Chains A and B, each alone.
Chain A
Amino acid sequence: MTGTNPTVAPSGPNGAPASPVPTSAPGGLVKSVVELDRVVIRLAGDSGDGMQLTGNRFTSETASFGNDLKTLPNFPAEIRAPTGTLPGVSSFQLQFADHDVMTPGDAPDVLVAMNPAALKANLAELPGGGLLILDSDEFTPRNLAKVGYATNPLEDGSLEGWQTVSVPLTSMTLDALADSGLGKKEAERSKNMFTLGLLSWMYHRPTEGTVRFLERQFRRKPEIAAANIAAFRAGYNYGETTEAFAVSYEIKPAPMKPGRYRNISGNQALALGLVAAGQRSGLPVFLGAYPITPASDILHELSRHKAFGVRTFQAEDEIAGIGAALGASFGGALGVTTTSGPGVALKAETIGLAVMTELPLVIVDVQRGGPSTGLPTKTEQSDLLQAMFGRNGEAPVPVIAPRSPGDCFDAAVEAARIALAYRTPVMLLSDGYLANGAEPWAIPDADSLPDLSGAVGFATEPNGEDGEFLPYLRDPETLARAWAIPGTAGMQHRIGGLEKADRTGNISYDPANHDFMTRTRQAKVDGIAATIPPTDVDDPDGDARVAVIGWGSTYGPIGAAARRIRSSGRKVAQIHLRHINPFPADLGEVLARYDRVICPEMNLGQLALLLRARYLVDVQSHTQVRGLPFRAAELAAVIQDAIDTVQPAAVTSAAVNGAPQ
């Protein structure tokens, strides 16, 4: 029996009562197990309640159980906003399923609210009938007043539309830790682990990983480790014995390709991709970076991998970060800088220098809400045009974007490939959603990764007719210039930001030379299209008349929307771009096949602008900048409208909602 919503009294697909399988729990309680195909859980609490940690642990348990999943951490920029207030609410949503999932879910089925602020901030998004778990201890007059509740929602009947289970999570945690020797304040902090224990019981999650994690995390504070483990177990046991929860849920593992898997976030995957690029090219990786949300975790991760010859340099500012990376590239390293939108603005001049000096450089922009400081912890795709054009002069830079957290790994390797093979800065556009979100990742064999050693090719012999070294003599195929590194005898040369004479690289103010060099730099970047795969089109029947095109992290929501559309009997093609500059060579042709092209973006239509300018296609832009990923249902409605307008005769009566995401 399969339901789509976990409810205390589950119902079947047609509203018929489900038939839970009774099991007996210790204490003589008879409990039921209901099988579900997917669940969306949102954990919400105060910034200091450890919701991100709880969410990450539940995610790890779920991943190792074998479900497919996607996560959406959502937290404020303030480290500790005033306790119990709305601005201080932090949440973590994940969807897990017995099939492949593409998004963290539009709306939660289950909301865990650790205090009144978390309830108030999230309740509107919990559909009627959804399961609501509350920490009743926190619903004190003071906490209620802080967020403007005139009456206690636990008592005033306002929560009647939901399946509300009010549990004294805090006091039960304190009871469980009565003998731990910890003070009240310290013991209270384990309530997130109590909650995790309860949820682990509810969804039959394996618990060994969390116990191991807590032991490792607090290995220098064994009493804290013991307290957290005790709270975690108490929460689990509470689920098993309480009458408050009569049902637990089973979500079978999702079928996945054979292989070894791990759970991975986008920032982690990106960092590992950079290490892999270093190993596969043979070059030492040099990261120059300045801390910035949401990119700093890449710096943290890379700084742990010194055994791979990775050097990380925390610079005095964004400009020094990229400057040092470019200096390292000049010396023959794989120079990398990581940042977010405001940092890219500061790095613009140095990116221009990298364009002019034609040195390899990977610039990672983990995009966040802008302009200016904007929304540091929220996601957006609004740096595309900055990546494309945000420099003085004609300064073409290849731009690529990953589509999922795990894909950040491959995108990083590809960015390094282009940078090395073409001696060019490459912009890699991740975003806050990819960076912090996580998914199961099939671990690749190191030997199966692209071999980048051929892309390096340091020049060691003079290449001029008179036995001189010409640093701007180009490979006729790639137009990449000869790259000789300091230390190489007989190859001394000078490069810089002034216009270069063709071949010699000497300073040149010659008009014809500037025109030639400007066009050559552009042609070099355009020519990368020859080495990238054709446009990725997902059109199962091959006869869709409407296409949705996206780039970056909208891949999941667009894919989920396309599934809904297809399950309603309609046809839609999904086109997703990894390479945005240059576009795949066949993209114009592909777009011309469709009567209508829709482009959803978390900006005000930046890719749409590029597509319209380049291909004269009347792209319909659908945009949103809420700091959150698109909801699949919303995209499905937009696509359905387009399909039904283009092809009224073919309209089926089926609604698009309700299908799996």
Chain B
Amino acid sequence: MTTVDIGMPDAPTPIDAAIARSLEQHGPKLTELKGKDLKTDQEVRWCPGCGDYVILNAVQSFLPSLGIAREDMVIVSGIGCSSRFPYYMNTYGMHSIHGRAPAIATGLAAARPDLSVWVVTGDGDALSIGGNHLIHALRRNVDMTILLFNNRIYGLTKGQYSPTSEVGKVTKSTPMGSLDHPFNPVSLAIGADATFVGRAMDSDRKGLTDVLRQAAEHKGTSLVEIYQNCNIFNDGAFELLKDPATGPMWTIPLRHGEPLVFGPDGASCVVRDDFGGLRVAETNQVDAGEIVVHDATRQDPSYAFALSRLSTQDLRYTPMGVFRKVEKPSYEAMMAEQLHEARLQGPGDLDALLAGGDTWTVD
């Protein structure tokens, strides 16, 4: 019988038994999947032209390469356009309530460390109503991968500004322009001491797949911000970066171990500024030795944070790729370890527990 280590006392639990029974019928776990194995019979109901289609396709074609069986993957989402994602993936899934997916996924991952847990969320779901859960999931470092689809607008409620919308955004709820300053999701995640933070563009299949793979392989909480175009309510939000004419000028590709040089002909680069931060410089104005070599594995988050601050609200100087990737024990593993330690004194004896403390006998 296959047993799954979910940190329980030695006797197999009904969880082990159920999994073992299903494998008796299905044979060994099927870990060599094709993209189509992950599709469901549900009609995909995003607006035609939505960036979500591209992300769905990228995820479906890349996931099989991880070698994880479908039944061992769980996708938990909140509310919003992106949160319909689980319905289109032939894995286990829960389309939960607004903002709470990281909390639900935390309980699932902590109770079942054997699963591959994913969260799909949006800028409103993760950063507005669910901001608290997001930062706490990141600081705990529960093993899960969070895909944050950032379209800088509320789509499902038909076009109000979101916590990532630029100041002055004119929407139905802000006819004279929005007043609040936006979050930079990457800065927020690094501020919460996230152990893995990356950013990718919906239309950049190669870049997206590369960041997703690293995120999935990372043990702990991974946050991937995916710039996603909402062609109905915020069309062209990322055009500055997507347009071949302007994109290279404003995109800073992050490649671990390589100098941060970007722009047409490598005209721009990133150097340290006077206060421990980073700034963009013209490559021909600085010594080659001054150009920062990207290191995503620095334990101190200030470097990754400084990187994330290079970009402006209008997306100029946007780093894309993996900002930070550091090793730290994950929450569910430490929890399982505490249970294991407690059991070293012997498995729980219910009769002994009930009779704990001072007792007396009446004859």
Interface residues of A (CB under 8 A from B): 60, 63-64, 66, 209, 253, 256-263, 272, 275-276, 279, 281-284, 286, 288, 305-309, 311, 313, 315-317, 319-320, 323-333, 335, 349-350, 352-353, 357, 443-446, 453, 456, 458-461, 484-498, 506-507
Contact = CB atoms under 8 A, between A and B. Distances in A.
Given A257-B362, A307-B343, A496-B86, A286 B93 contact: no
Nearest to A284: B8
Nearest to B85: A494
Contacts of A357: 94
27 contacts: A260-B359, A261-B362, A262-B359, A263-B357, A281-B14, A284-B13, A306-B341, A311-B335, A313-B106, A320-B136, A323-B100, A330-B108, A331-B107, A331-B108, A331-B111, A446-B354, A458-B14, A460-B22, A461-B22, A485-B15, A485-B18, A486-B115, A488-B18, A494-B86, A494-B95, A495-B93, A497-B79
Given A262-B357, A492-B92, A307 B22 contact: no
A339 to B, nearest CB: 14
Given A309-B8, A490-B71, A492-B93, 20 more contacts: A283-B14, A284-B6, A284-B13, A288-B103, A306-B339, A307-B346, A308-B347, A323-B100, A324-B106, A324-B110, A332-B14, A443-B359, A444-B354, A458-B17, A487-B4, A487-B115, A496-B86, A496-B96, A497-B79, A497-B96
B30 to A, nearest CB: 8
B132 A309 contact: no
A491 B70 CA distance: 10
Contacts of B109: 327
Contacts of A495: 93-95
A305 B350 CA distance: 10
A487 B111 contact: no
What 10 A-B pairs are tightest by C-beta distance, nearest first? A496-B95, A324-B107, A327-B107, A323-B103, A308-B348, A306-B342, A327-B108, A328-B111, A458-B18, A320-B103
A313 B111 CA distance: 10
Nearest to B7: A309
Given A316-B132, A323-B103, A489-B22, A64 B14 contact: no
Most buried by B among A253, A315, A331, A490: A331
Given A60-B358, A446-B354, A311 B94 contact: no
B87 interface: yes
Given A260-B359, A309-B348, A489-B25, A326 B9 contact: no
Given A306-B339, A350-B97, A275 B114 contact: no
A275 B4 contact: no
Given A320-B132, A327-B76, A327-B111, A63 B360 contact: yes
Contacts of A257: 362
B284 interface: no
A460 B133 contact: no
Given A308-B353, A323-B133, A328-B108, A486 B100 contact: no
Interface string B97-138: 100100111111111101100000000000000001100100
A464 to B, nearest CB: 12
A256 B362 contact: yes
Contacts of A262: 355-360
Contacts of A335: 107
Interface in B1-43: 4, 6-9, 11, 13-15, 17-19, 21-23, 25-26, 29-30, 40, 42
Nearest to B29: A489
Given A258-B363, A308-B350, A326 B104 contact: yes
Contacts of B25: 460-461, 489-490
Contacts of A313: 106-107, 110, 335
A441 to B, nearest CB: 9
Nearest to A317: B132
A288 B18 contact: no
B90 interface: yes
B117 to A, nearest CB: 9
Interface in B230-288: none
Nearest to A486: B92
Most buried by B among A60, A305, A315: A315
Contacts of B87: 494, 496, 506-507
B362 A259 contact: yes
Nearest to B359: A262
Contact of B22 (A256, A306, A353, A491): A491
Contact of B95 (A66, A253, A329, A497): A497
A308 B338 CA distance: 12
A65 B71 CA distance: 57
A491 B79 CA distance: 24
A309 B42 CA distance: 38
Contacts of B115: 331, 486-487
B108 A305 contact: no
Contacts of B133: 316, 319-320, 323
A312 B326 CA distance: 27
Contact of B350 (A275, A460, A489): A275
B360 A332 contact: no
A493 B362 CA distance: 54
B136 A307 contact: no
Contact of A486 (B26, B40, B71, B110): B71
Contacts of A331: 15, 74, 107-108, 111-112, 115
B354 A443 contact: yes
